[in-house]
Structure 1
């Protein structure tokens, strides 16, 4: 899309990634996952990579960003390696004069990370020294000569003067440790971002991968080469039946021919009912002068047929009209007790019902395979969504995936680092099936509710400032035992604050809240509590300093 850094959206970076799928026979159910995973949500995630100050370039002018396009995959078709997390990103730091795709791995639920490989397209294409828009995909079935569990990396590469664009794919047969070139998917003109109705660009951007219902490998991407038909940009695909060695013709998913709407940054995932859902941003929406790139979606019976292709599809929005915009990603995620699972969508920022940029600290979730209403699910990691607090492309083209046991949602994103002025890459996690309790619905004394767009439900509880202030949650435990409690809070002071927490009026525990970027930027604190079977109360009272509460989550690892 266009990344909008202040009032009008973005410059463009392009992007993205793939997603899951396959045929119904190979759809993975929660009980098929191997290996336990535990949510490790605290603070603002764990650090994967931090570019040193003064090292980043910016290929499009303006401020250097350090990193964008944080992409991740959690292995699920790789035997004893299931549960391993792999991360790559657009690294805007040269290594020996060229850009590369770095490959990072975690084998301890995202707590620590190590760089295990480097993919350097300039080896195959010496004149193409710049990389962009990576995506990761693990094959769920055998494709050509590639066995199930092959890890694929797609991206767009170009020369340093950005005079051409090429979509390429690499594979790894050892879970990311070594990589080999597979093929060029497509080529296009100069990698120049121009969303105006008079644009003459012919770029191919932002590849992502999926397996269609017939077992073919599909590369979805953004295509600017159809302007003669009034199409500023289409989201399209090419299909391979030989494991990515050769590719069929271009087929459109959405190609509005009004010389204005500009869909891009497509990702696709398969649903339990066999249908596929695609999400993408639409640049020049709500208008060319108010370009905030809202997210739309379309569905397909097989991942190949998206009729009518001139249609934009449906805008994703909550019942109150709020939406999301810029650089989305979609995945289907299994959930315990619900065969529908949930469709999860991430994006750079949130939108008001009128389409204005407003926050951006929540996934959007649909629990009925695309039908019915959408709801919010808090991010594990937050960032400067509107790039007004010192960020540059923060959160742009981020990614997420579920754990191998289906209990945890991991999020990888680019988070502004005000010390270096660049984006770090961070990964955090939240439990998928935790019980969620909203602070504004608790029994409150000597506090007040505060409207906050990014708070779950639009409200948080503040002014927990006095000895008489309390927030009492009434919760239900299926069985007696120790539960992990995640607390979503904000603390706009410069020092750590605390609350006293008592369970069923027992002895008080202390929960600590490190400072967040400001009042309104949420973080996570964590505490273990012992609950009785049935109804319990958890009461928060003032400790030291000041903090506000959005919600608590309870789960048993």
Structure 2
């Protein structure tokens, strides 16, 4: 992409072609209006919607290499500001609380008098290189003479005080004496350290039109920390006078290779909304990218969804041995470049992920926030900035994604603010942190959604509004949630959902619902409705009452169970759909009524000898449970309390036992009597008794003094297996979700605040493991509360 001298965005193609494109948007499909999920929190806003100020090109980094340990984990966001009569510049803001609040840190102008600058890159040096210490921040931007576009530079700056002050460094490249026009420019630089220890500066170069290159993606390198730069080499270049590779973003992968995301626009298409697909190219070292005519691979899902315009790229350690590549773009489309392009409703609502280092098909995952509308170049002025050039970074644990993106300011003509959001990366188990008070990480299609008091609600009689979470790659899963029909009608949950849109049956997937006519049902939706099962609910279904709903899909068999929140009597329905949908997201849905959801969790599913089980202790009793030591009681609010900070490891065994399952509960430490006080959940317990390690089985818990999630096994004595820090630490009187999954001899534990997506995770394989046993809860040297206990077989 590039910019004109007025600062307005233009897709990367000739100005004359662009002017013609604005006159016709043939082939576009209008997006249906969809109520937005959380649009994120505001990092920066224009001073007024009617003013000329605009904020865009946001970049986010999480400090991780600074010498000052107290600064590690800080978030920095840099964004560009352009305004009439003011030189274009950038502002840096910092957050020390995970993005909840932001404070201004510094402002960067081009040091060249009268020049404006758009910053495309902010990078933290992961190790000492080129005479610069680890933790040095490097920023690069394309600067230009506001009077004459014949002069332009890609200028670099460094900061050694974590973004508070900046020092001018060198130029990646300089343009002078060129024609006085924007269409011969240097655009959107990207800085990264390659495997040789040199800084690489990637940028778009459109100065070679006379040689048949509408635009090249090129690179220069520096061995002295950006003070001087060498000659440029081509990275992606197609000499057909039409192809325009640009907007590079580079990330190092865990195997030492490098991934380059970029957009490939084509002047020949002539319509800004019908071109600029996102590609991925790899390099063994970040120094050599092979043949410049090698485009790499088109980023797309198995069902042909692609990203359009302005890519962002990040790598997370979560998701398997290769971690997860995360890619976003301004829009989601299908079809080839040109009139067959169709803009999809997922635009501004999903990011793409890949757990195979970029090879093969990508999955769609609900984005950290919803940007609606997304940039629109041809159907009226003022909205092209929305979701333009977003930026993403994983949390330290990798289980969550943080994102910044421009969002259109309602009532303005051409203005965007900068928003921040956090959402899950798509791994399981997933626990929805509605205690946060928002639905970041969910994508809605229709309806009016809100979060209050840990409850997710849809208000109004819309036709089939839905909200989705997680990955289109999910296969066999169990979704547990409490559900309340707030008005007469039906509501439920969605499994294996793809191709969503606004409308009653506007998706492909399965719907498990309950209705105030006293039934639980299972159906298949594929832009139509097919009933698969219907069952009368024992005791009926009443509006205004909470029920626990469990919906599981394994292979092509769907099982659904409902029970009142304060009862043990349940009703189950089962259906099998031959030739079933293979995978998709999970979600919640209502139809022609209002409904609410809480305590929602998605876990892997499978066949096992354990039964699914849920106990909220809302009945006021722990019926069927057996205590061993301590002082257990059920108190108001559905809380099971262990009030003695006992040394005998008091435990409470549930009535559920089996082989493969996930046990989970909310856990709150209320007091500690020793440095290592902890509480959590038990799995595969046999031979329980009174005493710290008087059982055989597995325990996962949070520790109030170390702030860690610990996993271990007991057999008359304690053997630690793994531990890791809980994001944000562990505070007394705060709620955390703790899960423990036993599948074969692989044991996995997670822990997270009930208000945060960021999740601690440990996993280990145990030889000669305990094969089966009871699920339960336990405390040690701590008084603790427990709520919302679940066992999901898998």
Using the size of structure 2 for normalisation, the TM-score is 0.52
Matched, 1:186 2:173: yes
Displacement of 1:224 in angstroms is 0.8
More strand, by proportion: 2
Return the offset for 1:373.
Answer: 2.2
Residue of 31, 39, 43 corresponding to 2:38? 43
Q: Which residue in 1 is equivalent to 2:293?
A: 310
Assess, with a 3 A threshold, how the Cα gap between structure 1 residues 119 and 487 changes in structure 2: closer, same or farther.
farther
Q: Kindly report which structure 2 residues correspond to 1:296-445, keeping only aligned pairs within 5 A, or say none.
A: 296-335=279-318, 338-354=320-336, 355-358=341-344, 359-383=347-371, 384-387=373-376, 391-420=383-412, 422-432=415-425, 433-436=427-430
Deviation of 1:454 after TM superposition, in Å, equals 7.3
Correspondence for 2:47: 52
Q: 1:142 Cα deviation (Å)?
A: 1.4
Partner SS for 1:102: strand
**1:67 aligned onto 2:55:** yes
CA distance in 2, matches of 1:215, 1:492: 57
Q: Which residue of 2 aligns with 1:234?
A: 216
Q: Does 2:614 match 1:504?
A: yes
Give per-residue Cα distances to partners, 1:76-113, cap 9 Å, x unaligned: 1014111000001121236x832221010000000000
Contact kept, 8 Å, 1:136 with 1:153, in 2: the verdict is: yes
Aligned to 1:202: 184
Aligned to 2:73: 83
Match of 1:93 among 78, 83, 90: 83
Q: How many residues align?
A: 463
Deviations, residues 26-68 of structure 1 (Å, cap 9, x unaligned)? xxxxxxxxxxxxxxxx9332221111225653xxxxxx7x222
Distance 1:318 1:98, change over 3 A: same
Shift of 1:407: 3.6
SS class of match (2:210): helix
Q: Summarize deviations over 1:288-320 as a string: whole Å, max 9, x none.
A: 457321001211112122221123222111111
Please give the secondary structure, in 1, of the residue aligned with 2:87.
Answer: coil
Aligned residue in 2 for 1:28: none
Q: Please list, as runs of the form range in 1=range in 2, the aligned pairs for 1:79-228 lying within 5 A after superposition.
A: 79=67, 80=69, 81-93=71-83, 97-121=86-110, 124-128=111-115, 130-161=116-147, 163=149, 164-188=151-175, 189=178, 201-228=183-210
Structure 1 residues 461 and 115: alpha-carbon distance in aligned structure 2, compared to 1, 3 A threshold: farther
Residue 420 of structure 1: how far off its partner (Å) = 4.8
RMSD: 4.1
Kept after mapping to 2: 8 A contact 1:330/1:346? yes
Q: Distance in 2 between matches of 1:460 and 1:102?
A: 44
The question of whether the paired residues in 1 share the 8 Å contact of 2:353 and 2:364 is answered with yes
Q: 1:297 and 1:250 mapped to 2: Cα distance?
A: 21
Q: CA deviation at 1:398?
A: 0.6
CA contact (8 A) 1:345 1:363 kept: yes
* Structure with bigger gyration radius: 2
Query: Who is 1:267 aligned against?
Result: 249
Higher relative contact order (CA 8 A, sep 6+): 1
Q: Secondary structure at the match of 1:115?
A: strand
The Cα of 1:120 is off from its aligned counterpart by 1.5
Q: Is the 8 A contact 1:360 1:454 kept in 2?
A: no
What TM-score comes out, normalization by structure 1 length?
A: 0.72
CA contact (8 A) 2:400 2:759 kept: no
The offset of 1:126, in angstroms, is 0.4
Aligned-residue offset at 1:419: 4.6
The separation in 1 between residues aligned to 2:215 and 2:64, in whole angstroms, is: 34
Which residues of structure 1 form unaligned runs of 5+? 4-9, 15-41, 58-63, 194-200, 477-485, 511-526, 536-551
CA contact (8 A) 2:316 2:399 kept: no
Structure 1 residues 261-314: Cα deviation after superposition (integer angstroms, max 9, x where no partner) = 111101111212222111111112894457321001211112122221123222
Equivalent residue of 1:219, what SS?
Answer: strand
Structure 1 residue 145, shift from structure 2 partner: 2.4
SS of aligned partner of 1:339: coil
- Aligned counterparts of 2:493 and 2:197: Cα–Cα separation in 1: 55
Find the residue that maps to 2:342 and give its secondary structure: coil
Unaligned runs of 5+ in 2: 4-8, 14-36, 431-469, 481-489, 521-548, 555-584, 601-612, 620-636, 639-733, 743-755, 762-794
Question: What pairs with 1:237-248 in structure 2 (closer than 5 Å)?
Answer: 237-248=219-230
Secondary structure of the 1:324 match is strand
> How far is 1:501 from its partner?
5.9
224 and 286 in structure 1: CA distance in 2 versus 1, 3 angstrom threshold: closer
Cα shift at 1:466 = 4.9
**Alpha-carbon distance between aligned partners in 2 of 1:12 and 1:279, rounded to the nearest angstrom:** 17
State how far apart, in whole Å, the 1-side matches of 2:10 and 2:179 are.
15
Deviation of 1:405 after TM superposition, in Å, equals 3.8
Deviation, 1:236, is 0.3
CA change 1:151–1:454 in 2 (3 A) is: farther
CA deviations 1:495-540 (Å, max 9, x no partner) are: 9973466882745999xxxxxxxxxxxxxxxx979788669xxxxx
In structure 1, what is the Cα distance between the partners aligned to 2:96 and 2:78? 15
SS in 2 for 1:228: helix
Inter-partner Cα distance in structure 2 for 1:298 and 1:533? 38
